[in-house]
Amino acid sequence: MPAQASSSRKPLCIALVAGEASGDTLGAGLMQAFKQRHPDARFIGIGGPRMITEGMESRVPMERLSVMGLVEVLGRLKELLKIRKDLVVWLKSQEPDVFVGIDAPDFTLNVELQLRGAGVPTVHYVSPSVWAWREKRVLGIQKSTDLMLTLFPFEEEVYRRHGVAVRCVGHTLADQIPLDPDKQAARKILGLPEDARVVALMPGSRNGELRKLGLLFLQTAQWCLQRQPGLTFVMPCANPERRTQMQAIVADSGLNLPLVLLDGQAHEALAACDAVLIASGTATLEAMLFKRPMVVAYRMAGLTFRILKRLVKIGHVALPNLLAGREVAPEFLQDDATPEAMGPALLERLGPTPEREATQAEFTRLHHLLRRGADHAAAEAVEQLLQQKGRLP
């Protein structure tokens, strides 16, 4: 039964920081669930549009934290360090009851360390990829974080091994997305013909991702169209800035594609499509939950890629492949990501084949695995920490 806020104590103050769209989704879900338990709770920190809708007092626009890659962050390092320094000073003055850092570990873990040192209980929501590279980062997490909330079951073991309190809560998207998405309803919403062969293009939600993948995805679409002229392409744009950026990329490409740019509507695009060409990241999890066959691509700065290639100790990068423990979606990284390589793989996934059916069955199994009532499980875990720390009766 939800705990009730006592009339004799001040409302709970929950500090949160999210650095990108996926974190904004998780943060909004956590806030919504927490408000059901504590309707007068106050939420402060940094969040995106969904968290702001739920009542977040965001100190700076979330997009200022969105930077991809190890090398790419250097150009923004001075700004990011100032944002973090100012945020910590302000949060200490607000004396929150708990701090929740949502993903963005290079930014949030240091905030957690400083606030924990000031007596604020800390939670990290979304495990860094310590199981893939630099496991010793867990030692730093141990110092900065009272509780780790993971999305995936396989992530728990490494934290238990190092004595870090951990709980797997699943993923809020697995709760929100239906087990059997309605393709025809989605096509009706988007104005697409019922019998069209639709490919979704999802090169990412960040400026840097579109710069590296936008044209590549258009060229791959052109390669496929030349071989299957009846294809239709849809591309969700995360916000007006990304739409403007993508419109410029389309214009500069000189390609004449049957392409529909969408304002948001990523879930409708995934429900409506027959297959998807997609950037590695959280979006691949969404494609998996919609049971859509996918081809995964990614490009980053050459130096970043060379560093990661030496450090990463796993064979896959796409979340569906990591969850399945095998390749259920082909991956094309860096120089391997070309239209000539990705095009055939994409066309192969458009047709009804035994492999496609097997992939959809595996995606359904994984969907069930991640359905754990994530928002309420995360809120319950945070509440239990508050009780342990004497912040709640």
**Residue-wise pLDDT tens digits, 340-356:** 999 999 999 998 888 88
Residue found by looking up tokens 């998405």 in the block: 181
Q: What average pLDDT score do residues 142-146 get?
A: 96
**At 362, is the secondary structure helix, strand, or coil?**
helix
Query: With bands split at pLDDT 50, 70 and 90, how would you rate the model's confidence at 267?
Result: very high
Q: In order of start, what are the domains of the chain with their CATH numbers?
A: 13-170+372-388 (3.40.50.2000), 176-370 (3.40.50.2000)
Q: Among 156, 173, 177, 176, which residue's Cα sits nearest to residue 165?
A: 156
**Residue-wise pLDDT tens digits, 11-34:** 999 999 998 888 999 999 999 999
Q: Which residues pair with 231 in a beta bridge?
A: 197
pLDDT at 361: 95
From first CA to last CA, the distance across the chain in angstroms is 14
CA atoms within 13 A on the CB side of 19: 20
Comparison of pLDDT for 365 and 5, the residue scoring more:
365
Residues in the chain: 393
**Residue-wise pLDDT tens digits, 55-113:** 999 999 998 886 554 445 555 678 889 999 999 999 999 999 999 999 989 899 999 99
Other CB atoms within 10 Å distance of the CB of residue 348: 15
pLDDT at 134 > cutoff 90? no
Position 262, amino acid? L
pLDDT at 302: 62
